[in-house]
Structure 1
Amino acid sequence: MNRSLRVLGLVGLVVACSVQAGGDPEAGRAKAAACAGCHGADGNSTVATFPILAGQHADYLVQALKDYKSGKRKNAIMQAQAAGLSEEDMENLAAYFASQKGLRVIDAVHSEP
């Protein structure tokens, strides 16, 4: 009985870790070339109208892409970009951008010219 509980706990831990792991940042980096024109190569956009993706929570990014794909969020450019993405692509992109160091607003405001 005690051994069974340990095995069951170990299996649960492995499953929880694999679900939590999310996408593959390297696969996301390869896919992110299409995002670079607006959001920057590493997700740190230098244009105020394009959001910074670097350092953003992966879950938020995945949900945003799903919402663009479904039409729940409206933006012609992003809807077109998200239309061709699979859920795996979305998770990989989100993992990549989440793993990047985001610019802090305070850093951008106080940087020397």
Structure 2
Amino acid sequence: MRRFSCACLGVGIFASLVAAAPAMAADPSAGKDLAAARCRTCHGIDGIAKLPVAPHLAGESEMYLQMQLKAFRSGKRENEMMSVVAKDLTDAQIADLSAWYSSIKITATVPD
């Protein structure tokens, strides 16, 4: 019985992960175009924020970016600017934007 319970738990976890996965592959190129139209003023096309109150997005986790954009869209998370910007984004656009910003490679230099 114990082995059966563990197997069911494993199948349940796997099913949850599959259900949470995006239905279609994200397109970073489409995300770049969308970022140029909607995001560049605050976050920059390169993901390096242009305003002191905006966070850098370059190299951020794709999953994190998707979660935050969906939270702004739904109203679960609020910000005067982002709530308006995210309101009309589709799931595909959110996936594309997240794929674009997460694909940007950044480096850090540690001071001596």
1:101–1:87 distance in 2 versus 1, CA, 3 Å? same
1:48–1:70 distance in 2 versus 1, CA, 3 Å? same
1:73–1:100 distance in 2 versus 1, CA, 3 Å? same
Q: Displacement, 1:97?
A: 0.2
1:47–1:69 distance in 2 versus 1, CA, 3 Å? same
Q: Paired residue for 1:31?
A: 34
Q: Displacement, 1:75?
A: 0.1
TM-score, normalised to structure 1, is 0.70
Cα distance in 2 between the residues matched to 1:50 and 1:72: 19
Q: Paired residue for 1:6?
A: none
- The unaligned stretches of length 5 or more in structure 2 are 1-17
Aligned residues: 90
- The unaligned stretches of length 5 or more in structure 1 are 1-15
Q: Paired residue for 1:62?
A: 66
1:28–1:48 distance in 2 versus 1, CA, 3 Å? same
TM-score, normalised to structure 2, is 0.71
Task: Tell me if the contact between 1:43 and 1:102 (Cα under 8 Å) persists in the aligned partners.
Answer: no
Percent identical residues:
37
1:70–1:100 distance in 2 versus 1, CA, 3 Å? same
Cα distance in 2 between the residues matched to 1:46 and 1:68: 20
Q: Paired residue for 1:92?
A: 96
Matches of residues 69-84 of structure 1 in structure 2 within 5 Å?
69-84=73-88
Cα distance in 2 between the residues matched to 1:99 and 1:91: 12
- One-letter code of the match for 2:88? G
1:102–1:56 distance in 2 versus 1, CA, 3 Å? same
Task: Tell me if the contact between 2:41 and 2:50 (Cα under 8 Å) persists in the aligned partners.
Answer: no
Secondary structure (helix, strand or coil) at the match of 2:93 reads helix
